[in-house]
Structure 1
């Protein structure tokens, strides 16, 4: 995403770092110590699976387990210190930018990992597109304070313009060299990582990026956390002025956009349907999940649509009452925002029809569709399955400075957590 009207040195400012990485000789396998991002791990099943995969799995740092929040954060800090002392993790010998590649079934994504200078929201250099939950930001901030580390990179995207080939050429040359690491995770993705240390190549990349702004594709809460911690460390240059990110040029490597589903813990499907009444058209679908999702996609092409699950069947909600929407969806936002499925879900269904607070004890946000359905059926809850929003809608709203309801999108593939960490105590 180019930065209209800004000089080159007012765009993205990325610098090399001495990445903190697992020492291969000290672990069973790289695949066994990686994890999805903290908010993608399905708890408790996915968490237990990762913890048992290897005693040094990164989930013990990003999702530590203890009775209280302070104890969790302290445990993560102690675990990180012990792994550093034991040589499980070690910083690279010299600062570098890192080329990170993910591939699976014909999909190829490459991006640059580095430390990005944090900019204020008003500068328009890094554009958020979703709201955040304060309690999550507070938890992530406490974890980062305790560990003095960025444990997983944000996923940011930008779009290079015609003829902007410097970074692309550097990526191609780097990918032709032997990688620092290569592993395949259980989701089938193959991961490779290279370091870029040559001063000329680093300068090419950083100069190119200085002409661009970025969209936060994944990691809004971590970005908000970075900004909060930067504000806490004033009085001069500080490691907290930077945050660990993965930057992907979607002109060369387009991302996939998926939906994030809602699990309503305390609302059975029967009660959800009864409350909806005739304010939406409701159709029961006694079909496999794939066919139900196809019906959702077809309905979503014509307007707002949702798929409810949790009672052994699927229920398609579409064609909402226009008068209901006009009364319940806030009017101080652009039409593109007012017609978002996530806006209608939160403003109309959750707040007005179901009276479900947007609190962790009432709503869980789940990326995996099958996991959402399974948990709803197991706990007599309601899974609200969403259809993904188009990427151009996300970008247009972000450029207008309009944020979408939290957890509206899931861009991917997401970087595996555990391949590169950033310690704020390492130069």
Structure 2
């Protein structure tokens, strides 16, 4: 389930001027990610700190059975993060509409780094919930109990663009996966709205800005990121917000001190400490956590990757299983795949001595080709490491982004 601080949940709902969103591809391959889109950046408005949204004292809704579809499976769900897409306010005749909007949403998420490069770490699952009525509650005076299965509605806690769902019911529809998962609820609405940072990330599936909304909101949910815009709450308890300037950050080695002076990935200058009108410092002049259509700045990318690696490791189980093996088998490690040319590093050692695999694929080692004296037991290790320069915390890299497996070959 999504991360979040104990006793403290934050939702984001930015009321933005709308710009058209370019059509996204309908097929996304791990080996050939789509190019970045060029999208304009409207101006944002504030978040609010809210409690978990439930049923408001009403009895919990009873989910009816709903078809579940594995849209994209990159590996065993126990070893991947699953994004669960659920719709609300889509009738039986509108299920195709929901499916199209759900596809656009997750494609948009996989367009932005670091999700683009690390899309192989995610499975995508869709739950086709049929609503007896079309649409959701959109106006301030409209009842929140519209009869939709997830009870999604705008004007959550009095904020026009804040889009809430009945979280306990939504969680029951999503089900318990075999591994970590994030639930994304799409409302059948063309209004602008969404929320992130709680158990259910929400967006208006029919909004022209839906793709950019999910890029922003998932930053809250997966990366535990705060909003960087001027009118955001003056709360710096996030990896991308600070109460101290760059000099103090460097001196005390807090927050994103490792990134100070690094070039911003969007070409907007260097990472520093830029003060917003609310008195809180942010890492760059602009980012997707400040304006829609931008990029995650470098400290935010690192925060997202760290949260991903807290949930999954860098490799799938090896073949054969680690431990004592007979004979001289071919050993295979299975690093999680990255989209693009860079892949995770694999280093082999035989009795502590570096060994180069014989073939072009570094994930295999044919031990029958090793010069091993007859009758001698030999220890073979393979270390898989993510060497991305998007992470500068080397202690974290060693602890979470590196795995070593060991086989003992019996002589």
What TM-score comes out, normalization by structure 2 length?
0.26
Bigger fraction of residues in helix: 1
User: Rg: which structure is higher?
Assistant: 2
